[in-house]
Amino acid sequence: MPRPTLLQTRTLPAAVEARAARDYAVRRPEGPDRTLDAAALLAAAGGCDGILCAAGDALDAKTLAALPESVRIIATFSVGTDHIALDAARARGIAVTNTPDVLSVATAEIAMLLVLMCARRAGEAERLLRAREWTGWAPTQLMGVTLERKRLGVLGMGRIGRELARMARGMGMEIHYRNRARLAPEEEEGATFHADDESFLAACDVLSMHIPGGPATNGWLNAARIAALPRGAIVVNTGRGTTVDDEALCGALRAGHLRAAGLDVFAGEPAIYEGYHSAPNVTLLPHLGSATVETRDAMGFRCLDNLDALLLHGGEPPHRVA
């Protein structure tokens, strides 16, 4: 039996690439490792049975409609699927899979890192040293806020949100959450559910955002919702950049309504809203949520498990989202 042909759009961890090469005829686009636009993707997809893509690869409705008949499955190396037009995939009968669970702890760690950096002004402090401007310890220099007994508001209490809540509980924070549905009592572990935005936002000394991208969440954190946060609140986003109105967030940081923001994701990545570059109270990370050796291996293996299920064994992929 000839091995199925797999278009692998990005460079992946070595162990993942080795397993893919063992079981598939792997095709890689020419040139440096980069997000593929529609033209490059279609040019590379001819005759492929499956596509192993990543966040940022353009798989909108038009591109999906133009994919060759041979493509039966798209396995994305991400939990987020906002870069793939799922309805168009369903219409074409192309299975789409993602990588849930394995990145929850790593992403929650980055959220906690941002919470800590914002609360303790670590970015500003590091820049001070690198600029060789530190003149020595001072009683009132770079004072942040203590997180113990502060309220953490988790927007989107899925797997990542719950991992963050677990970490924050260990630091003595009080947990509040807003979610499509209330968790079962044993899953809440003492967290307070809010049925509306108003009471939730008023309870956030720190707001951590974990909602997916897409039309339903575009610009969710807008000027009105920011105004509903307590003065001095911290905002952290490790979900998708599109869920934040950047102008409104920057304005609130400049005006002092918000103490700080920590952002790992941006609308239009890798470009970043210009205002963030000059704001001292913003910590910026280049979409590092799942970037640990362990997690990226696990994500790759999860992609291959999904591809194998359909292309090698003719079964149902375990993490099918469309």
Distance of CA 252 to the CA centre of its chain: 23
Q: Does 102 bind ligand DGY (CB under 6 A)?
A: no
* 287 belongs to the catalytic site: yes
Non-local (6+) Cβ contacts of 5 within 8 A are 24, 25, 26, 27, 47, 48, 49, 50, 70
Tell me if 56 sits within 8 A of 35, measured CB to CB.
yes
Q: Which is nearer to ligand DGY, 123 or 289 (CB)?
A: 289
Q: Does 55 bind ligand DGY (CB under 6 A)?
A: yes
Q: Does 78 bind ligand DGY (CB under 6 A)?
A: yes
Q: What are phi and psi of 275, to 5 degrees?
A: -55, -30
* 269 belongs to the catalytic site: yes
Q: Does 80 bind ligand DGY (CB under 6 A)?
A: yes
Q: Which is nearer to ligand DGY, 5 or 295 (CB)?
A: 295
Which pair of tokens denotes residue 180? Answer: 């499509």
From residue 202, give the alpha-carbon distance in Å to each of 62, 117, 178, 185, 206: 42, 22, 12, 23, 10
- Cα–Cα distance, 13 to 31 (Å, whole number): 18
Q: Please state the closest distance from residue 289 (CB atom) to ligand DGY, in A.
A: 5
Q: Does 289 bind ligand DGY (CB under 6 A)?
A: yes
Catalytic residue among 178, 240, 259, 319: 240
Q: Which is nearer to ligand DGY, 147 or 236 (CB)?
A: 236
Q: Which is nearer to ligand DGY, 58 or 258 (CB)?
A: 58
- Cα–Cα distance, 81 to 85 (Å, whole number): 8
* 210 belongs to the catalytic site: no
- Cα–Cα distance, 47 to 255 (Å, whole number): 55
Of 82, 33, 43, 79, the closest CA to residue 63 belongs to 43
Q: Does 41 bind ligand DGY (CB under 6 A)?
A: no
Judged by CB under 6 A, the residue of 103, 203, 229, 310 near ligand DGY is 103
Q: Please state the closest distance from residue 36 (CB atom) to ligand DGY, in A.
A: 14
Q: Which is nearer to ligand DGY, 200 or 301 (CB)?
A: 301
Q: Does 79 bind ligand DGY (CB under 6 A)?
A: yes
- Interacting residues toward ligand DGY by CB under 6 A: 55, 78-80, 103, 289-290
